[in-house]
Structure 1
Amino acid sequence: MSKDLLVSLDDKLHARRERFDKIPIVDIGPLLDGTDKHRVSREIRWALSNAGFMYVKNHGIQQDLIDSVFTVSRRFFDLPLSEKTLLHISNSDVAFRGYIEPFGENTNPGKTKDLKECFDFGPERSVLEGPFFGPNQWPSSWPEFRELTYGYHQRMVALAKKLLQGIALSLDLSEGYFENLMRNPISIQRLLHYPPQSGHVSEDMIGIGAHTDYGNLTILAQDDVGGLQVLNRDGDWVQGTPIQGTFIINIGDLIQRLTNDVYLANIHRVVNSSGRERYSVPFFIDADFDAVIEPLKSCVTDSNPQRYHPVTCGEHKLRRFAASYAHLAKA
C-alpha cells in the first residue's frame, strides 16, 4: 500500500475495540413469534438504558433482500453526479425526499463536515401534504430501484412497530402503547455512501459527525466495512463492528424524552478509515407529526425529576433538520 493511502487518525478519532457484548446482541425471535416477549423486553431494557444501541438477530428479514438493497444502492451512487442531482432533496420542499450530496447535510455543524452522500425516501404521497410527507423522487428509467427499495421500506415499518412493542413492554407499558402515537408516523428510508479517507483524518471532516438520532427508532443495515462508533458512558468510542445476520438498533431523542433519560439516545458517528467504499442502509421511524411526547409518569421520580417539557414530534424533528441541512440554511 502506498504511503498516500495510509490513514492517520487524529487522536480524537480513535475508537477502543471492545468486546462485541459492549453493544449487546438481542435475539428478537421470541418477540416476533410471541413465545417469550417478556424475556426479550428485559434484554431490551438493559440495552437501551445502558448503551442506547443493540444488535438484533433472528429479525425475520431475508438476507437476499438486504443484499439486493445494497446492490442497487451501490449502483445508484455510481451514477454520474448530474443524474443524481436531478433528484436533489431541495426539489422536494419540506418533504425531504431525494439525493443529498457530500457536505449537503452536516449532523454536527460547526465542528464536522459530513463526507457522505445520501438518498432519502418515505411513505408514498401524490402531493406535498406538509413536512416529511410528499412525493418521493425516483430515477425515471429504473423502476426496479423504486420497487425494491420501497418494498424494503415497508418491511422496515413493520419490523419497527414490532420492536416498539418490545420497547413498550420493557417500560411496563401495554404492548400497543405506541400505536396511538403512530397512526401516520414520519419514516425515512435512507441509502448511504461513505467514500474512504486517506492521509490524516481529523474531526473537521469524517463520514458523519457525532450526533444523536432524532426520532423513535433506527434500524441500520451495514456492509462489512465498519466505521460506526458509539460513545460509551466512560467517554470512550466503541466500534459498532458489523455482525452478519444482524441489524443495529438505536433509539432517538423522542424515546429518551419519553423515558426522562432512563433510556439513552446515544451519541454516535462514522469514521471510514478502511480504505474502501462504505455503504449502509438506515431506516428511521418517529411518531405522528403532531404526536405530543412528554416524560412518562413512571419515569419521573424524586431521584429523577422531570427533565423535559412536552414537544411535538414534528416540531422537534424540523428543528433538528434545520440545523443540519445546507439547502435549508440557504433558504
Structure 2
Amino acid sequence: MTELFDSRLASKQTAFTEIPIIDISSLLNGENPLQVARQIGDACEQVGFFYIKNHGIEQPLIDEMYRLTKSFFKLPYEEKNRLNIVNSGPTLRGYIPMYAENVDPANTRDFKECFDCGAHYEEVSPFFGPNLMPSTLPQFQAVAETYHSAVLSLARTLIGGIALSLDLPQNYFEQRQRKPITIQRILSYPPQMGKVTQEEIGIGAHTDYGFLTVLSQDAVGGLQVRNRAGDWVTAPPVEGTFIVNIGDLVQTLTNDRYTSTMHRVINTSGLERYSIPFFIDLDFDAVVEPVPTCVSEALPAKYAAYTCGQHKFKRFVDSYAHLQDVAAV
C-alpha cells in the first residue's frame, strides 16, 4: 500500500491542556495581574505557546472578520492579484498568492494564500504606509481596522503581563512600542489531498519574527507546535480562545529564558482552513538586547544589540522572492 503521509510530518494528537489555557480576565481588569503574569511566564518558559480565554474581544467581531476573510479569498484571482503585495513597495501590505511567501524555503513550499494590512499611514516606509483594500468588499476595511485596533489593545495588555513575568514594570516595553510594526493577516489553507510531503505543506516550520502573535484559528485545525523534545504536537482549536506565541524578539530580550517555538500548519482535513493572526513587534528603530533582569555575571548577554526593523526586514527578504534583490534596510 502506498504511504500517503511523509513520516517527517507526523504529530502527536494530544489534549489541548498540554498547551496551557490561561484565563487573562484578572490581567485585563487589573484585579490580579501578577498571578496571570506568572502563568504567562511559565508558559513562555516551558512551551512558547498558550491559549487565552476571557480575552475581552467580542465574538461577533471575530465572526464578522471570518465572514469577510472567506469572502476575500473567494474573489477571482485577478481581482485579488490587483492588490498584490509587490505593489505596496516597502510597506509590504496586500495579497500574497500561493507560493509567493515561503517561510522555510530550503525545505518547503507554503501551500497558502494571505492578505496583510495594518494601521493606515500616508507616509510610506518599511512596514508602514497605506493599506491596499478590496473595493468590491466595502465592509472589509472598516471591520479589519476595528479588529486590528481591538487585538492591538489586547496584545499590549499581554506584553504588560510578559514584562511583569520578568520582574519588570508593567509598562516597561511601552517606550519601545510607541509606533510598533504590526501586521493584521488573514490566511487561507486549501486542503491537501493525496500524498503529503514536507516539500509542500500549508506553512513550513518557522519561528515568528517579532514580539508576539495573537492567533484566531477556525474549527478545522492543522497547527502543530514543536516541543522541547523535538516532537510535533497538535495545537487544536479551542472555542472562545486565541492562541498566543512569542517570537524571536522575546527570545533575545530574555536572553533565551523564553524561547521562540517552531510551528507549522498541515491541512489534511478535506476542508478549507482559515486563520487570522495578528503580529506585533517593537518600533522600527527600537534596540533589541537582553533586558536587565535576564542578564547577570553568571549569565552574560548572549546577543549583540540589533534593531527591530532590520531584523524583521531580513526575515522578509528570506521569505519573499520579490525581495531577493533588495538590500537590507
Distance in structure 1 (CA, Å) of the matches to 2:283 and 2:243? 23
Unaligned ranges ≥5, structure 1: none
Cα offset, 1:20, TM superposition: 1.5
> Is the CA contact 1:7–1:197 (under 8 Å) kept in the aligned structure 2?
no
SS in 1 for 2:50: strand
Moved more, 156-165 or 297-306: 297-306
Question: Relative to structure 2, which stretch is displaced further, 272-281 or 141-150?
Answer: 141-150
> How has the CA–CA distance of structure 1 residues 307 and 120 changed in structure 2, closer, same or farther, with 3 Å as cutoff?
same
User: Could you report, residue by residue, the CA deviation over 1:188-232 in whole angstroms, capped at 9, with x for unpaired residues?
Assistant: 000000000011111100000000001110000000000000000
Match for residue 282 of structure 2?
Answer: 287
Structure 2 residue corresponding to 1:144, chosen from 139, 149, 152: 139
Write the mapping of 1:84-163 to structure 2, written as runs, cut at 5 A: 84-128=80-124, 130-163=125-158
Runs of 4+ off more than 4 Å: none
- The answer to whether the aligner puts 1:246 opposite 2:241 as a matched pair is yes
Change in CA separation of 1:282 and 1:7 when aligned onto 2, cut-off 3 Å = farther
- Is the CA contact (8 Å cut-off) linking 2:168 and 2:293 kept in structure 1? no
> Does residue 38 of structure 2 align to residue 71 of structure 1?
no
* CA deviation map 1:299-331 (0-9, x unaligned): 124553321110100010000000001221266
- The separation in 2 between residues aligned to 1:142 and 1:228, in whole angstroms, is 29
CA distance in 1, matches of 2:246, 2:25: 20
Please report how far the alpha carbon of residue 167 of structure 1 lies from its aligned counterpart in structure 2 after TM superposition. 0.5
**What amino acid is the match of 1:288?**
D
Report the TM-score when normalising by structure 1.
0.96
Alignment check: 8 A CA contact 1:193 1:280 kept: yes
What's the Cα RMSD here? Answer: 1.4
1:112 CA drift (Å) = 0.3
* Structure 1 CA distance for aligned equivalents of residues 254 and 116 of structure 2: 29
Once the two structures are TM-superposed, the CA of residue 19 in structure 1 deviates from its matched residue by 2.3
Partner of 1:44: 40
- Is the CA contact (8 Å cut-off) linking 1:7 and 1:201 kept in structure 2? no
Deviation of the 1:7 alpha carbon? 9.1
TM-score by length of 2: 0.97
Pairing partner for 1:181 from 176, 181, 185 = 176
SS at match of 1:9: coil
What is the CA–CA distance in structure 1 between the aligned matches of 2:5 and 2:221, rounded to whole Å?
A: 15
Identity of aligned residues (%): 53
Task: Tell whether 2:222 aligns with 1:227.
Answer: yes
**Structure 1 residues 153 and 74, CA, compared in 2 at 3 Å: closer, same or farther?**
same
In structure 2, the gaps of 5 or more residues are none
